[in-house]
Structure formats: C-alpha cells, structure tokens
Structure 1
C-alpha cells in the first residue's frame, strides 16, 4: 500500500484519498455506477483514488493518475431511454453512415480518420478491379 496516497480524512489532498484498489465499500467510480444501473445524480465527488502510472504520462507532468469516487447510497437510477431519445440516436447513427463524397449509405459507420467511405478513398483501385 502506498502511504503517500492514503489520506482518508482529506487533510493533505482536500478530499478523502485512497491508493489504487483500496477504496472502502460504499464508493464507486462513474463506470462502476453505470455498470450497476446508477448515475452520480448531481452529487459532488466524495473521494478519489490516486496511483502512479508511467503508461499515460505526459511530458512535464507527474505520472499520477486519479479516479473520482461517488457515494453509492446517494446515486440515482439511470434515466430510461425515451422514444424521442431512441429516434435522435437513430438519426445520428444514420448520418454517420452517409458518405459526404458520394452521398450514399455506406452500410457502416464512416471512420472519422477517412472522412468518406472506403471506395471513395481509393477510386483507382476500384476501377481496376
């Protein structure tokens, strides 16, 4: 256990802080809440996890990562999708399938790195085949 990141009273970091994988019961990250069908529901960050990681280190910054924790007892259920939300999501996904170059439905989501469907990115190869 890293004693550097163990601050359950929040004296050093301002909010209760725990080392990685040492959070007490009753706290969860956003992802953990979502997996349980919950959301923070407007509550403030209750605690945080800190750990060292060189994997995501940015030049000039310390290799410390943070994950914010929320109280499970104050979390609210995830709001259900309404028919209007489903319709909006369907329209957004359909728009991402239309190639801006040839204006046809590509049948798949067009990669943002290409910006157009695959046949439009390689027209010479398509004509040769």
Structure 2
C-alpha cells in the first residue's frame, strides 16, 4: 500500500512542518476556524502542523493546524470594539460617488454602488 501524497509527519519535505493529507491530521490539532467554532483562538502558539490538499484550481493549498491544549479563549467583544467595528462596516457601505448608504458592502472591483456603476457604464 502506498503512502498518501502529502504524508510527511516528520516535516522533512515541507520545511520542518509536519504535513498530513486532507482529513488525516492527528487528534488534538485544529485549524483556526475549528478553534473559533469552539470559542478558542491559537493564542500566540506556533503552527504545530499543516494539512495539504490539491486545489481544483491548480497547485496545492495548506491549512495550518494548532494544538487544542495550548489554545486560549476568544477575547470578549468590548463596547468600544463593537462600536469601531460597526463604524468600519458602515463606511464600507457608503458610495463615494453618490454618498448614500446603499445597504450592502460595495464591490471592491467597482468602488461605487451598483446604480452609480451602471450610469458610469452608460456614459462611457
């Protein structure tokens, strides 16, 4: 039986980082998203390992893994932090061309609301 493609538990082929194929990481190692779902964060620890898989768009993609035992609780949201986040999100909804809060985050490739982008396309 042959080894899976990204099987490198001692890290000799991947710069010293233990590497495992998709869904084959040892127990106790989690991605940032998996930690967040448990109400945790990496808490400054180094990457313990990585999971690699072949992307459908070509190349290889990694997901870094952290030890659950060293993870720390997520910091609570303070009122000041919530206000700053709300202000930043509100700024992302204001169109620089017409100055209106359009109710959605402006597409970054347009940098204007959809109405202003349509009228600009008609003029050009």
Same-fold call, TM cutoff 0.5: yes
TM-score normalised by length of structure 1: 0.78
SS across alignment from 2:101: coil
Cα displacement (A) at 1:80:
1.1
Structure 2 runs not aligned, ≥5 long: none
Cα displacement (A) at 1:4:
4.2
2:109 aligned residue (90, 109, 113): 113
- In structure 2, relative to structure 1, the CA distance for the partners of 1:9 and 1:105 (3 Å cut) is closer
Rg: which structure is higher? 1
TM-score normalised by length of structure 2: 0.81
What is the root-mean-square deviation of aligned Cα atoms in Å?
2.1
Aligned to 1:32: 34
Aligned to 1:6: 7
- In structure 2, relative to structure 1, the CA distance for the partners of 1:121 and 1:6 (3 Å cut) is closer
Structure 1 runs not aligned, ≥5 long: 58-62, 125-129
Task: Work out the number of aligned pairs and report it.
Answer: 118
Contact 1:49 1:68 in 2 (8 A): yes
